[in-house]
Amino acid sequence: MRSLFLSWQAWAMLSAVFAALTAIFAKIGIENVNSDFATFVRTVVILAALGLLLAVTGHWQSPVTVSPKSWLFLVLSGLATGASWLCYFRALKIGDAARVAPVDKMSVVLVALFAVLFLGEKLSALHTLGIGLIAVGGVLLVL
């Protein structure tokens, strides 16, 4: 069991489960709440939970040990995350969770594309087929 939680696959699957729960909980939670305020509440909860996790595990890292390049890309990642969350909650506010969440997961296709273009990663034929099928599924959900 210990080796299971040392694999990226297990953590990625847990991420998918929690992302699915996020959509369901958020759709219920934003019923009578402004979507931007809901995003703010979500962010405060995440900050508190991560602060507690860092305190309990002792994984706090001094900010001065982080390189300027890492700071730049972590800040950019944070800005992209915030923009994504704002868009996601707004979409959930006006659309069905069963349609919004899968379209949001078109990010999987974009990550693969950006990883090839900007990170020089290689995709096998099987991975390319899988990414293509996800893209086709996303388009079908939009129609």
- Domain extent, residue 52, equals 4-95
Residues 70, 13: one domain? Answer: yes
6, pLDDT greater than 90: no
Nearest to 92 by CA among 21, 27, 31: 27
Q: Kindly state the average pLDDT of the residues 91-97.
A: 94
Interacting residues of 133 by C-beta distance below 8 A, sequence separation 6+: none
Is residue 57 one of the residues assigned to a domain? yes
- Alpha-carbon distance of 109 to 71, in angstroms, equals 26
Query: pTM value?
Result: 0.82
H or E segment and range at residue 141: helix 125-142
* Residues 103/138, Cβ–Cβ less than 8 Å: yes
**Model pLDDT for residues 30-48, shown as the tens digit of each residue:** 999 999 999 999 999 999 9
Q: Which 3-state string (H, E, C) describes 79-138? A: HHHHHHHHHHHHHHHHCCHHHHHHHHCCHHHHHHHHHHHHHCCCCCHHHHHHHHHHHHHH
Together in a domain, 35 and 81? yes
Both 79 and 129 in a single domain?
no
How many independent structural domains does the chain possess? 2
Residue whose pair of structure tokens reads 């069963």 in the numeric block: 98
Our CA angle for 75, 80, 83, nearest 5°, is: 125
pLDDT, tens digit, for every residue of 17-30? Answer: 999 999 999 999 99
Residue 100 belongs to some domain of the structure: no
How many residues are recorded in the chain?
A: 143
Residues 112, 89 within the same domain: no
84 and 138 co-located in one domain: no
Residues 116, 73 share a domain: no
Residue 84 has pLDDT above 70, yes or no: yes
Tokens of 29: 């939670």
